[in-house]
Copies of this chain bind each other. A is one copy, B any other.
């Protein structure tokens, strides 16, 4: 968590962290500044010191809310930098950044870099920054194992509360959608409204978006509501024009975040409208069995990758293919059992099969558990997903409960 950052910097031998960019769609920056709206910025964090935020003059009202020591970007004159760089804007940006770092007494030592930036610009900018500050050794931390990733992998109480609140919003919306669907009726194997008009996936998504907006939540990373063959492709978001089929699997995977760049929740249920065939029920039962047997099996101190191996083995024991025996399989259990979430919808801890990316389960971790089975050729996809938290006492449980019924009753089906 945030209080670990200085210790982690010591362990990594880092003297400074430099974060580039604004606060939107830039989780590392949002980790420091919170839901403050900055379109551009630079944050410098020296070891055992409070961060310094460089912000645009126009955004000083926003920047004030961070409580950090602040400096205005415009006080580092752009025209002068551009002149010194002989018109090369990437070099000018590097020179200005170097001036800002020097204003923080950061011109030597080991420094890590962060920030979601456009590669066309950030790569040449970094090349010039390297030349401008030769005393700095830029430390390239491995993806997912940076100091800030390691800090973010465990959440403090405030972060967990934010995630839980999003979970309450999420399950409330899911419940209302289930109720809405059950108030319609079946006709010719699709769902229709009381006037006999087909209900489409697009209409359901629009209803979901409106309900989230009413609750100050957004869908910055999308929304999956996919039926039939699409449900068999884990990341298919669904076809807006498609009417909802009766008796086919519908995967409803919803991962909203607090409006304005906050914490995510991630949740999936699989539904069949009206009825489910024996074939679907069998697949669903297997996923539910794996869910039930593993959701209470996570233990503090255990490596994350071990669970992925066990879940693969359990699916294979039920006769389903998995990545364990065939890394490229597109049928059966084809993805990881879950992932950490927080300011990103996918973050550490990873549950990869790869031991190198393994994490030890630790209090403060928040992660999804989402076993699933996919048979696109048979038009079947099933996933059940909840978000779990590792409590201070070491117990591991879902953040928000919600029923796991497969069939949504629909009149006329």
Give the interface of A toward B (CB within 8 A): 20, 24-25, 28, 37, 39, 56-62, 74-75, 77, 79, 82, 87-90, 93, 112-124, 126-127, 138, 140-144, 146, 206, 209-210, 212-214, 216, 218-222, 226, 229-230, 233-237, 259-260, 327-328, 330, 334-335, 346, 354, 356
Q: Complex formed: what's the CA distance from A28 to B121 in Å?
A: 13
Determine whether the beta carbon of A235 is less than 8 Å from that of B123.
Answer: no
Q: Does the CB pair B328–A75 fall under 8 Å? A: yes
Cross-chain contact of A58 among B117, B138, B219, B334 (Cβ < 8 A): B334
- Nearest CB in chain B: distance from A169 CB, A: 13
**In the complex, are the beta carbons of B117 and A117 less than 8 A apart?**
yes
Interface centre among A59, A119, A122 (most CB of B within 10 A): A119
Cβ-defined partner of A82 (8 Å) among B117, B218, B354:
B354
Q: Do B57 and A328 touch (CB < 8 A)? A: yes
CA gap between A77 and B338 in the complex, in Å:
21
Which chain B positions have C-beta within 8 A of A118? Answer: 28, 114-116, 143
Given A89-B143, A115-B120, 12 new contacts (CB under 8 A): A25-B25, A28-B118, A39-B221, A57-B334, A61-B226, A90-B143, A113-B119, A120-B143, A123-B123, A206-B214, A206-B216, A209-B213
Q: B114 touching A328 by the CB < 8 A rule?
A: no
Contact A62 B235 (CB under 8 A): yes
- Cross-chain pairs A/B with CB under 8 angstroms, 17 sampled: A24-B221, A25-B220, A37-B237, A58-B233, A58-B234, A74-B327, A75-B328, A89-B143, A114-B120, A115-B120, A116-B117, A116-B118, A119-B122, A123-B138, A206-B216, A209-B213, A213-B213
A65: nearest chain-B partner, CB-CB: B239
CB-defined contacts of A346 to chain B, threshold 8 Å: 39
Residues of B within 8 A of A216 (CB): 206, 209
Q: How far is the CA of A58 from the CA of B323 in the complex (A)?
A: 13
- Complex-state Cα separation, A58 to B259, whole angstroms: 28
6 shortest A-B CB distances, which residue pairs?
Answer: A61-B236, A213-B213, A124-B140, A209-B213, A61-B233, A25-B25
Chain B positions within 8 Å of A209 at CB level: 213-214, 216, 218, 259
Contact B79 A354 (CB under 8 A): yes
Q: Which B residues are CB-close (under 8 A) to A146?
A: 120
A102 to B118, CA, bound (A): 24
Give the CA-CA distance A138 to B90 in the complex, in Å.
15
Chain B residues with Cβ under 8 A from A93's Cβ? 143
Name A221's closest neighbour in chain B (CB-CB). Answer: B24
Chain B residues positioned under 8 Å from A25 (CB to CB): 25, 116, 220
In the bound complex, what is the Cα–Cα distance between A218 and B220 (angstroms)?
9
Given contacts A140-B124, A142-B88, whether A220 and B222 have CB atoms under 8 Å apart is no
Q: How far is the CA of A226 from the CA of B62 in the complex (A)?
A: 11
A114 neighbours in B (Cβ, 8 Å): 118-120
Closest B-chain residue to A149, C-beta based?
A: B120
Q: Are A230 and B119 in contact (CB under 8 A)?
A: no
Is the CB–CB distance between A222 and B60 below 8 Å? no
Considering the chains assembled together, what is the distance between the CA atoms of A13 and B220 in angstroms?
37
B residues in contact with A356, CB < 8 Å:
82, 87
A24-B221, A82-B356 known; A237 and B62 CB under 8 Å?
yes
Instruction: Look across to chain B and name the residue whose beta carbon is closest to the beta carbon of A208.
Output: B213
Shortest Cβ distance from A39 into B: residue: B235
